[in-house]
Amino acid sequence: MSDKQPSRIIIGSSVVLTVIFSAILLVFVNYLSWRHYKTFDLTENKMFTLSDKTVNLLKGLDHPVKLYFFFNPEHGLYSWVDKLLRQYREKGGDKIEFEVVDPQRDLVRAQELAKRYRFTGEDNMVIVESGERHKFIEAQSMAEMDMSGMMTGQPARIKAFRGEEKITSALLEVVEGESRKVYFTLGHGEGDITSQDPKSGYFEAAEKLKRINISPMTLNLVQKPEIPADAAALVIAGPLSPFQPDEIKVIEDYLKNRKGKLFIALHPGAKSALDDLLAQYGIRADDTMALGAVNLLGVTKLLGSVPAGMLGKHPITDPILGQSLVFTNARSLTVLPPAEGQKGRPVELAKGIEAFWGETAYDKDNMEFTEGKDLQGPLTLAVAVDTGTVGDGNVELGGTRIVVSGSATMFANAPMMQYPMSPDFFMNSVSWILRNEKQLGIEPKVPKQYSLGLSPSQFWMLGGVICLLLPASILLGGVAVWLKRRG
């Protein structure tokens, strides 16, 4: 007597129940992994492990913070920033909201964010938002790049990753700090932050400041010779006429008595009457125009846009080291010998290429370099000074900070959109004079580079193994198998 076989109905029911329970189990496991997950940083120097300072900040958050990861997946820093932001989400729990926006695929969402925060939608950045405050962290500020290999066709290499430093600093600012006010002077032909004129307006510069939680304001010292108490910094953007003695006195008092912060951008030939003020801090604006000459089909053409290299070892230039900055319609600057009792030493930030000289007779036709009269390149085009530094600058006591640019045109609307390094230099300069980066003590992560050094004999030996020994071994193995089968 044979065993009774299970009916098809029982078998079918069993299969259906198995599928249902498996689906329920899969959903449950996925839910648990979404709510309670753990990631591991297996890199040797813990590139994506958050510091204790950041972890403690995340644990102490009282209000939710939104992190928008607005990046093109093809960008070289995409995976670095993505892994780091996921650590913020993991450590921050329900206080950190994390959204990935691919501007190439999520077009509707990308346009919505671009409209809300007023940016082009083509940038690669992280947006940190809490309540009504937000701050942008652009991709290029999160890493120091080594461009030395690009001349030989090699890609740019990440020299130091500053993602945690930048994101945590931004998080602190939007959670704890109010928007700081930077005042742009008016009344002397300066760039107007409300003007969209491509050559003279500073609308784009003002919009860039808003991205980093700074409120650009205007100030007319002629009407009211007083710098407001809430002024975090003062910007003098390309004056064309002189400041009056009363105005200069107000600025001097602000710098000395309030340890003020000042960004000055100058035009060649313009008489601002600020020479004595700059000289107190060891800086002279030369009465020159930076020019270069190029021969095109036998015709000499003068160039007024100076390619300049960034000089390192300064927080303004370190993030954009290796990049070329263009100083348009510029005058040269000179660092003066230190005067008795002078606090702080000016630091050169950018120098033009050697082919450009400082023309002193720039108001005449047929200009050319004249030995002994004009200034030989390379010209200093940007300088910074901090009166609070002691010794080699390793000790910071908190003093007056000033940045002087020999070009005001480079920060006008058109150059700010045409040359990508112009906004970076402007933003870095304003952030530095404001001490915008919180002194968290979070060190940049330096990726380890591994290389294999071979002597010529070792190189040829390795080539022989790869090109001869390995193919020969495979061939002999095949012959041995063939012989064995025939036998």
Written as six digits, the tokens of 239 are: 């004056």
The torsion of the CA quartet 20, 21, 23, 27, rounded to 10 degrees, works out to 140
CA angle 222, 279, 327 (to 5 degrees): 80
Element of type H or E holding 136 = strand 133-138
Going by their DSSP bridges, the two strands 333-335 and 283-285 should be labelled as antiparallel
* pLDDT tens digit sequence for 416-465: 988 888 988 998 899 899 887 554 556 666 666 555 566 777 777 777 77
Residue 343's pLDDT is: 73
Locate CATH 3.40.50.880 in the chain: 180-434
Confidence of residue 396 (pLDDT cuts 50, 70, 90): low
The mean per-residue pLDDT over the stretch 392-406 comes to: 78
The rounded distance, in Å, linking the Cα atoms of 152 and 155 is 9
Q: What is the CATH number of domain 180-434?
A: 3.40.50.880
Confidence of residue 391 (pLDDT cuts 50, 70, 90): low
Q: Where are the alpha helices (DSSP H) in 42-188?
A: 52-59, 78-92, 107-117, 163-176
Locate CATH 3.40.30.10 in the chain: 52-175
Q: Identify which of 406, 302, 407, 313 has the alpha carbon closest to the alpha carbon of residue 355.
A: 302
Range list of β-strands (E), 287-342: 289-296, 299-303, 305-310, 324-328, 333-335
Percent of the chain past pLDDT 90, that is, above it, reads 42
pLDDT at residue 34 tops 70: no
Written as six digits, the tokens of 6 are: 């299970």
Q: Average per-residue pLDDT in the chain? A: 85
* pLDDT tens digit sequence for 154-184: 677 788 888 888 898 888 888 876 778 999 9
C-beta neighbour count of 354 within 10 angstroms: 11
Cα-to-chain-centroid distance, residue 366: 40
Contact 128, 171 (CB under 8 A): yes
* pLDDT tens digit sequence for 111-162: 999 888 888 777 899 999 988 888 889 888 888 877 666 666 667 778 888 8
Q: Given the structure tokens 């430093």, which residue do they identify?
A: 165
Residue 392's pLDDT is: 55
CA angle 460, 465, 468 (to 5 degrees): 100
Q: Given the structure tokens 């407001």, which residue do they identify?
A: 228
Residue 346's pLDDT is: 92
Contact 101, 69 (CB under 8 A): yes
The amino acid occupying position 382 is A
- The model's pTM is 0.71
* pLDDT tens digit sequence for 78-114: 999 999 999 999 889 889 999 999 998 999 999 999 8
The rounded distance, in Å, linking the Cα atoms of 384 and 344 is 10
Contact 258, 265 (CB under 8 A): no
Cα–Cα separations (whole angstroms), residue 243 to 66, 239, 403, 428 = 45, 8, 18, 27
The mean per-residue pLDDT over the stretch 13-21 comes to: 82
The mean per-residue pLDDT over the stretch 198-209 comes to: 92
Three-class secondary structure assignment of 443-478:
CCECCCCCCCCCCHHHHHHHHHHHHHHHHHHHHHHH
Q: Given the structure tokens 């010292």, which residue do they identify?
A: 221
Q: What is the CATH number of domain 52-175?
A: 3.40.30.10
